[in-house]
A and B are shown apart, each in its own frame.
Chain A
Amino acid sequence: MDDLQQAVTAALRQVVDPETGREIVSMGLIYGVTVQGGRVSITMTTTTRGCPLSEMLRQGAQAAVLGVAGVTQASVALTWDPLWTPDRIEVRAF
């Protein structure tokens, strides 16, 4: 994992799900991070498809990544395929 990818992941770990108090990486909400030059593409999900927090978590993740030095463009897409399950939560997150 290169430095920028690590910095992006670290930035995503600053985005906390206000309901559980855990950040979105350890919650298993991040499905993929792709870095090409300064452009970052993220695929993420929410714990349920109709979650009222979906759009604000997406925008929060985007804002956090745009704050990383070296990132020139960040796109964050929501997907529910596959659906999130609690098994995706990192061990010792709770």
Chain B
Amino acid sequence: MIGKQIARWTMAWFASALCCLIASLGFAAVGLAGPGGWAAGTAMATVHLFALGWLCQMMIGALIQFTPVLCARPLKMPGLSLPALLLTGLGTAMLAAGFLSMDGWVLGQNLLGLAPAVVVAGFGLTAVMLVPTLLAGQGLRQAEVRMVALALIALAGLWGTGTAMALTLAGYNLLPVFIPDALPLHVLLGTGGFLTLAAFGVSYKLFAMFLLAPDRDGPLRKAVFGMAALVVVLVLGLAGSILARGPRLPLGLLVAVAGAVTAGLYLVEMLRLWRSRHRLQTEVNMRWSRAAMICLAMSAALMVPTFRWGAAWAEAAMFLALVGWLSTLTLAQMVKIVSFLTWIQVFAPQIGRRPVPLVSDLTDARFAGRCLGLWATGVAGGTFAIAVGHPLLFQVSAMILLVAVLGLTRELLAIRRLRHLDPARLPDHLPPLVLPVPLRSSSDDHALPA
């Protein structure tokens, strides 16, 4: 059946994530978050709208879409995708609002205390779909599957450390934790753990497909997994020790070195993949993924020196990871994925029967490239502003990032509405912008919704 491996709610996950991204950048642009003020409630709300609302929702939506591609089998219990999305979105909103209690909004305390339960319900439903799909058959023999499974372990740790801190801040004595000890581990489990490792796993398969490059599970890929597993075990061990009120283990430098080596090995493999590609003319998503890789390299290179250089450089490294590496990669690939899924929804029934446009015809690559270039400019400005502690420059950078995202949102809408195609090639009915195509039975397999 055509489209059986296409997740129905991907556009809704992406739309929810984009709304969070636009909101978080808007808040940063008006000065609610920035250098020297990360501890404020509004800043914490902004950061979580970005990290949880934007990046985690995008990654979960992408994993629901691409885990069947990685595993070559259908997703287990795909009907849980919508409730997972609703709970994750609600949990993000509750968490963001809850952080305002740190600025004196008393009602926010209850939201902050309850939000982790809602978030874990969303994460849990996601795990119910992904874990059995990943583990079925001999899935764990594949490097990309192992990496995504490791990312999900880090996600559990991310939630655990986040819950302990949220409950502590909300005044509940259930899992008291010293915030300055737990916060770096929480950030590492999210940025370097769940988000980066899931991006590694998905990129192994997708980049080989997009570049027509050999997809080999060689020694380098095994080394990346081994180092990544070491980092996750170390950070989870540190987190467990802190949550159990055990001793503070002096392993921070080891984690930083191991994390930097992991990123370095991954980048070496991606460079080899790029050089072995058969597709010499690359598309906009892959061209701008190179910028994301450069940000990953810079962020990894900063991990160890930040132990000497202080908090501002650590914040700059984290900004480079979240906004430069993960968000640039996500935005660039989102243009491609939305084009690809839209093509399947509209043109799949016609393949082999009449000429059809290419996936790339649905995108204005030049405009998308300009928006991504603007985004990269904002990344550079924001990183510099954080490193030198310049709030106004950070605000200007956030405005640049916001304009770039609004431009990309316009492009995504144009892709969904097929605005770059000759009107003569448009179908009678376009698929819904965000919601899935309604299921209907049909004797013609080609008429089934994607």
Give chain A's interface residues, CB within 8 Å of chain B.
14-16, 18-21, 47-57, 59-64, 67, 80, 85-86, 89, 94
Contact (Cβ within 8 A) B72 A50 = yes
Judged by a CB distance under 8 angstroms, whether B446 is at the interface is yes
Partner pick for A56 among B2, B73, B278, B279, CB 8 A cutoff:
B2
When A63-B352, A94-B278, A94-B280 are in contact, do A18 and B343 touch as well, CB less than 8 Å? yes
Give chain B's interface residues, CB within 8 Å of chain A.
1-6, 68-73, 205, 208-210, 212-215, 276-281, 340, 343-344, 347-348, 351-353, 356-360, 445-446
Kindly list chain B residues whose C-beta atoms are within 8 Å of the C-beta of A51: 69, 209
Docked complex Cα distance between A86 and B279 (Å): 10
The smallest C-beta distance from A17 to any residue of chain B, in angstroms, reads 9
Task: Please indicate which of the listed interface residues A47, A61, A86 has the most CB atoms of chain B within 10 Å of its own CB.
Answer: A86
Contact (Cβ within 8 A) B2 A49 = no
Kindly list chain A residues whose C-beta atoms are within 8 Å of the C-beta of B71: 50
When A21-B358, A48-B208, A48-B209 are in contact, do A59 and B344 touch as well, CB less than 8 Å? no
Contact (Cβ within 8 A) B5 A89 = no
Extra contacts, 10 of them, besides A19-B210, A52-B3, A60-B351 (Cβ < 8 A), are A18-B343, A51-B209, A52-B69, A54-B5, A55-B1, A56-B348, A59-B351, A59-B446, A61-B352, A94-B280
Contact (Cβ within 8 A) A50 B358 = no
Contact (Cβ within 8 A) B281 A19 = no
When A48-B209, A89-B212 are in contact, do A60 and B353 touch as well, CB less than 8 Å? yes
Contact (Cβ within 8 A) A62 B352 = yes
Docked complex Cα distance between A14 and B351 (Å): 10
When A21-B358, A94-B279 are in contact, do A56 and B351 touch as well, CB less than 8 Å? yes
Kindly list chain B residues whose C-beta atoms are within 8 Å of the C-beta of A94: 212, 278-281
Partner pick for A15 among B205, B212, B343, B351, CB 8 A cutoff:
B351
Kindly list chain A residues whose C-beta atoms are within 8 Å of the C-beta of B446: 59
When A50-B69, A86-B214, A94-B280 are in contact, do A16 and B356 touch as well, CB less than 8 Å? yes
Contact (Cβ within 8 A) B69 A18 = no
Partner pick for B278 among A48, A55, A59, A86, CB 8 A cutoff:
A86
Task: Please indicate which of the listed interface residues A15, A47, A52 has the most CB atoms of chain B within 10 Å of its own CB.
Answer: A52
Docked complex Cα distance between A94 and B359 (Å): 17
The smallest C-beta distance from B432 to any residue of chain A, in angstroms, reads 19
Kindly list chain B residues whose C-beta atoms are within 8 Å of the C-beta of A50: 5, 68-73, 205
Kindly list chain A residues whose C-beta atoms are within 8 Å of the C-beta of B73: 50
Kindly list chain B residues whose C-beta atoms are within 8 Å of the C-beta of A48: 69, 72, 205, 208-209, 215
The smallest C-beta distance from B447 to any residue of chain A, in angstroms, reads 12
Kindly list chain A residues whose C-beta atoms are within 8 Å of the C-beta of B72: 48-50, 80
List 26 interface pairs A-B (beta carbons < 8 Å), by A numbering. A14-B352, A16-B358, A18-B357, A19-B340, A20-B212, A20-B279, A21-B358, A48-B209, A50-B68, A50-B73, A50-B205, A52-B6, A53-B344, A55-B2, A56-B2, A56-B344, A56-B348, A57-B351, A59-B446, A61-B352, A63-B352, A85-B214, A86-B212, A86-B213, A86-B276, A86-B277
